[in-house]
Every structure is written in structure tokens, then in C-alpha cells.
């Protein structure tokens, strides 16, 4: 993308963020996007609680938004269960994107099946093959990427805005739940009878790949269970802080 076009988009998003600053209502936020005609929208769901809120809202309102998920090949069985129950409940398709098989074979040959435990770089290489590269393919036809990010989730995400331009994927990122609290997410799930991963009630708040996720205690950060053996920023590279 040329610098002039990117600058124009950034100016549009600055105006949108001013308009959206005090809005939490999903209907208002999605209407704001529709009114500005920013292009084709997609939603990537990790099947976590925030994303299940958005899936419910998108499907119930028949919004023209394609929904997809990433299957890294190392997910919990409970994640597959909630994917299945979600598609059955709403009678809608959630497209699944997988890693390139050759890339996975080369990764495992190089670092071993559990090499991601050994170094942060190994883990990031695994995330790149299993998550980032498939996401790039999935996002390619779209102009707007809807996410379930909340500023409360981590210090890294506290500075995000509702609308940003993601330079890594060259796409507008729309974060409609950014200002929601965790309690508001739980209230929505309960009041709308939204399917959720059974692991959430076992202390798993943020759920990723099975080998890289553990339950957390009440006094821990919500993302402390992700890559729990590291002292890193607890991000896989999908949502960089310099967006």
C-alpha cells in the first residue's frame, strides 16, 4: 500500500475513533462501520469468550461478515467441541484455515515436536507457521478485520484503539469489545445463552494451543496461562502493539 493511501486511511480512522470513543453498544459500533463503507469485513474467532460474544451478535443479526477460525493442529478437544456446538446452534458456517503442511513438517524437523518450550524464538517460529501465515491467507480478500480484543486483557493491549490500521497485515482492525469489562462479557454470554468452552469454568481464561495454555489462579493476569513458561509479553504476533 502506498504511503498516501495509508495516510488517508489513518485520518479516516482517527475520525472514527473520535466518534466511537464513548460507544460500547455493538449495534451502534457496527452501524458506524457500515455508514462509512470501509469495505468487506471478516471476523477471526479464537472461540474464546469475547469472540463468542461477537459470533453471537454477527450471526443473530445476519451481518455481512465472513467468520473464520484458525486450527493450528494443537488445539484442545474442548475448542473443537465449542466450534461444533456454535455452528449447530446458529446454523452458520465458520470457515477453518489450517497451517501449510510442508511448513509444519519443516518446523518439526528443525525444532522437534515440542521445540517451542526451548526458546522464545522457537515458540514464535511455531506461532508464525501455525497461526500468522494461515491468518495472512485468511485476511487477504478483506478490508476490515473484526477482533475480540479488550484493553483489560493485558498491559500490551491497554493502549489499543477501537479502529487501527494493522501494518503487518495491511488491513483495518476493528475492536468493538475494546472498552468492555470481563464481567460484561460474562453477562452477555449468560443472558444470550452463548456456547462457550467448558475449560473457562476450570480456570482457563485465555485459551490457545493445548501445550501452551494452563489454568490460572484468581490473582493472576488473564493471559498468564499463555506460554506460561516464558517471561515474554504473552503475544503470538497476531496483535502487535505498534498497530
| Phi-psi region at 55: left, alpha or beta (left = phi > 0; alpha = psi -120 to 50) | alpha
Chain Cα centroid distance, residue 93 = 18
Spatial separation of the C-alpha atoms in residues 202 and 215, rounded to whole Å: 7
Q: Which of 3, 50, 28 shows the shortest CA–CA distance to 165? A: 3
Strands 95-97 and 144-146: unpaired
Cα atoms in the 13 Å half-sphere on the side-chain side of 23:
19
Q: Is residue 209 among the annotated active site residues?
A: no
Radius of gyration of the chain (CA): 18
DSSP code for 162? S
48 close to 64: Cβ distance less than 8 angstroms: no
Catalytic hit among 42, 209, 212, 236: 236
Which residue stretches of 143-242 are H helix? 182-191
DSSP code for 96? E
Strands 65-70 and 163-166: unpaired
Catalytic residues: 236
Amino acid at each position: 500500500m502506498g504511503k498516501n493511501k495509508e495516510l488517508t486511511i489513518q485520518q479516516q480512522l482517527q475520525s472514527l475513533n473520535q466518534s466511537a470513543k464513548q460507544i460500547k453498544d455493538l449495534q451502534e459500533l457496527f452501524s458506524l462501520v457500515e455508514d462509512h463503507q470501509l469495505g468487506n469485513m471478516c471476523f477471526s474467532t479464537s472461540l474464546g469468550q469475547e469472540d463468542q460474544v461477537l459470533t453471537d451478535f454477527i450471526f443473530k443479526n445476519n451481518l455481512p461478515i465472513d467468520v473464520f477460525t484458525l486450527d493450528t493442529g494443537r488445539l484442545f478437544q474442548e475448542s473443537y467441541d465449542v466450534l461444533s456446538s456454535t455452528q449447530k446452534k446458529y446454523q452458520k458456517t465458520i470457515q477453518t484455515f489450517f497451517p501449510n503442511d510442508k511448513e509444519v513438517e519443516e518446523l518439526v524437523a528443525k525444532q522437534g515436536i515440542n521445540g517451542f518450550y526451548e526458546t522464545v524464538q522457537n515458540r514464535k517460529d511455531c506461532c508464525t507457521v501455525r497461526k500468522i501465515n494461515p491468518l495472512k491467507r485468511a485476511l487477504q480478500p478483506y478490508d476490515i478485520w473484526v477482533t475480540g480484543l479488550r484493553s483489560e486483557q493485558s498491559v500490551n493491549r491497554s493502549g489499543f484503539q477501537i479502529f487501527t490500521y494493522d501494518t503487518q497485515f495491511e488491513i483495518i482492525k476493528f475492536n468493538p469489545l475494546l472498552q468492555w469489562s470481563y464481567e460484561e462479557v460474562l453477562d452477555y454470554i449468560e443472558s444470550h445463552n452463548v456456547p462457550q468452552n467448558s475449560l473457562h469454568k476450570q480456570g482457563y481464561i485465555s485459551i490457545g494451543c493445548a501445550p501452551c495454555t494452563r489454568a490460572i489462579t484468581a490473582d493472576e493476569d488473564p493471559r498468564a496461562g499463555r506460554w506460561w513458561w516464558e517471561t515474554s509479553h504473552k503475544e503470538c504476533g497476531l496483535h502487535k502493539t505498534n498497530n
